[in-house]
Structure 1
Amino acid sequence: MSATWLSDVDEELSTGEAAPEPTVVTIDETLTSERLDRYLTTRLPHISRGGIQRLMREGCILVDGKPAKPTQHPVAGQTVEVTWLAPRELEAKPEDLPLDILFEDDDLVVVNKPAGMPTHPGHGHEGGTLVNALLHHCAGSLSGIGGVVRPGIVHRLDMDTTGCLVAAKNDAMHLGLAEQFKEREVDKRYHAIVCGRLPNDEGEIDAPIARHPVNRKLMSVQHGANRNARTGWRVIERLANSTLVDATLHTGRTHQIRVHFKHIGFPLAGDALYGTKATAQLAGDTGVRAERQMLHARSLAFTHPRNDEQLSFEAAWPSDFERVLHELRNAKTNS
């Protein structure tokens, strides 16, 4: 079996090519409530917020000739110059990073991934990833199918998505788990806070997802695309101008839940790629602002490839998710 399931969700990795020419951006409006790093993700959509922050740390982003800070505000008329770093060949190295382990045996490990931790190294994230942490924790004992950049990784979560993720310690386990993902035999349930109050109690979004035709950093619903995508959902609780939902992935497309809820008009709170306007509106109406997409891989269930045991795991909400949820439960709206 070819273990290519991850290709549906991977970002491109560094290739050692020369750095591109500097990019110059002119800020067209003053935004006193917006951080510069968040703003630049909308003007430079091919690079993540983490990548922008790294460039700022390296002194590669200047505002009117002075080093930029992530927390400063965009001001109309300012000129931002971005000097790109040359890509480097990547190889994940062990790092002693904390892990919240939900289950572990000789074949696999299930973790509760925190926000801000990429699953594996990539552009702007050579270290500090889940792979680096797993290499240290497992003393290098991870499957080699993912190569030197993503050993053990059968599926991934976006950097700012939290929750359940399983990694394989050997190739046989990797192949067995990958087959279950490919055949959609893995039960993946997510909790999300979306902007707006969903009118129905449950539903299903069946809409194909592909790369955005213009902005290659984004995904979008494209009718006629050959990559079908299906997400089931039910309302857990209606909040102030928002809804807590339980979402079930029936396919595994890049950004699937984020894109699908944007498609039906209820983007995730805090989503810097697909929900900036809705998040700002929610903050204005309720005083509650999410600093990352409110998406948590709540549970994961699959069959252990070695002994056919049915395994099921659940990850507690992280503190920031709980905070936003609590504040939205108690918020008074302005609309």
Structure 2
Amino acid sequence: MSEATPSPAERHGTETVTVPGEHLRLRLDLSLARLFPDHSRGYFQRCIREGRVRLNGRPVQPKKPVMPGNIIEIRWPQKEIYDLVPQEVDFEVLTEDRDVIVINKPPDLVVHPAEGHLDGTLVHGLLHYDYDSFRAMIDATMRPGIVHRLDKDTSGAMVIARNLFARQQLKKAFKERLTEKTYVAIILGEFGAVTGTIETQIGRHPVRRMKMAVVEEGGKYALTKYRVLGTSQGCSLMEIRIFTGRTHQIRVHFSHLHHPIIGDYVYGGKGKHIPIEVPRQMLHAWKLVFPHPRTGTMRQFMAPIPPDFRQALEQLGLPILNGMPTPMGPTIPEGWVPPDDLPSDDEEDKQ
């Protein structure tokens, strides 16, 4: 058992701890967050799901209750993850002030370091862009300024916190659903209705644990609304609004409808039935609305579509996006009553 708590930068290899008496029947992820307070609960949820945590020698779920005397074994990520250095990384700055930077994330850019992506991430680029601000925020999760995420192959608008105050306020805004996130995607197939709603539970795929899926039980409530902007060559250009922040929510929901995003190799958007070749999933975070952390004023930003997305639209004969998204209702649709146990957005929220 460890005798002293090392700093995040010193943690590597495997560490074993004993559950103390005051943690009786706490969830495993919560117990770990209290044992290692410089790491977040969400961080340990990721560790558990990645198979890097064992309870009494066995892999378990984050919600597993622990008992005093239980042995927790955690395999920390590779030490190199914590050796963050500034690196020049290309991204477009849409606007910035002393509290936030709003960017248009290009495709093929990982947001933060993780096993398999130790450098060349957006976080490395932020340190290069403004070293003093972001270095001051480095914590155990190695995500200075990051309050929400986009997948490596998803492009579009992101807001970055430039100080700890802004980070706290923005994370609160995302958790309380005070933000609006509107995407555009090229979807395989044609839709009979111009607008629609997808309302399901999303959880881990029962077999392929690195994927998410629509599940009958044990998932988290997820709500997506969409509007068809154009159809051509068996594909549809969709404007999509998510009202909950579940991991891969858009990709999972449209795959569930048997209309995957073209180029999405994980959720079915590949094969001979795709009319054109695309380099990645055609999903773009088009509009982002959030309360400014300092003033509370709602700010709205548009991220221009990148060249590969525009080229796909041209090849398919779909409308070229130049203007603002059309309104898709308030943050919570009128008349919608959430379930009593509706959980907050995932800390893993990424599309």
Fold shared per TM-score above 0.5: yes
Matched, 1:275 2:258: no
Matched, 1:90 2:81: yes
Matched, 1:185 2:178: yes
| Gaps in structure 2 of 5+ consecutive residues | 1-32, 53-76, 319-351
| Gaps in structure 1 of 5+ consecutive residues | 18-85, 331-335
| Structure 2 CA distance for aligned equivalents of residues 5 and 255 of structure 1 | 21
Structure 2 counterpart of 1:112, one-letter code: N
- Pick aligned residue for 1:154 from 147, 150, 157: 147
| Structure 2 CA distance for aligned equivalents of residues 260 and 4 of structure 1 | 31
Tell me the SS of whatever aligns to 2:288. strand
Tell me the SS of whatever aligns to 1:235. strand
What's the offset of the Cα at 1:7? Answer: 3.3
Matched, 1:165 2:165: no
| Structure 2 CA distance for aligned equivalents of residues 122 and 233 of structure 1 | 32
Residue pairs, 1:55-66, within 5 angstroms: none
1:116-153 C-alpha deviation (Å, 9 max, x unpaired)? 10010112111111111011101141363753511110
Matched, 1:106 2:106: no
Summarize the Cα distance change of 1:209–1:315 in structure 2 as closer, same or farther, 3 Å threshold: same
Map of 1:7 onto structure 2: 42
Map of 2:70 onto structure 1: none
Tell me the SS of whatever aligns to 2:317. helix
Tell me the SS of whatever aligns to 1:258. helix
Matched, 1:131 2:166: no
Summarize the Cα distance change of 1:316–1:147 in structure 2 as closer, same or farther, 3 Å threshold: same
4+ aligned runs moved over 3 Å, structure 1: 2-8, 10-13, 86-89, 145-148
Contact 1:5 1:181 in 2 (8 A): no
| Structure 2 CA distance for aligned equivalents of residues 270 and 131 of structure 1 | 26
What's the offset of the Cα at 1:6? Answer: 9.4
Map of 1:308 onto structure 2: 296
How many residue pairs get matched?
Answer: 254
Structure 1 counterpart of 2:221, one-letter code: N
**Alignment RMSD:** 2.7
Contact 2:147 2:171 in 1 (8 A): yes
Contact 1:12 1:122 in 2 (8 A): no
What's the offset of the Cα at 1:88? Answer: 4.1
Matched, 1:240 2:228: no
What is the TM-score when the length of structure 1 is the normalising length?
Answer: 0.70
1:190-215 C-alpha deviation (Å, 9 max, x unpaired)? 00001111121011111111111221
Structure 2 counterpart of 1:325, one-letter code: L
1:252-296 C-alpha deviation (Å, 9 max, x unpaired)? 1111100000011100000010024xx32333xx3x112210000
What is the TM-score when the length of structure 2 is the normalising length?
Answer: 0.67
- Pick aligned residue for 1:328 from 305, 308, 316: 316
| Structure 1 CA distance for aligned equivalents of residues 103 and 315 of structure 2 | 27
1:209-246 C-alpha deviation (Å, 9 max, x unpaired)? 11112211100011222411111111111121110000
Contact 2:40 2:141 in 1 (8 A): no
What's the offset of the Cα at 1:98? Answer: 2.1
Summarize the Cα distance change of 1:323–1:149 in structure 2 as closer, same or farther, 3 Å threshold: same
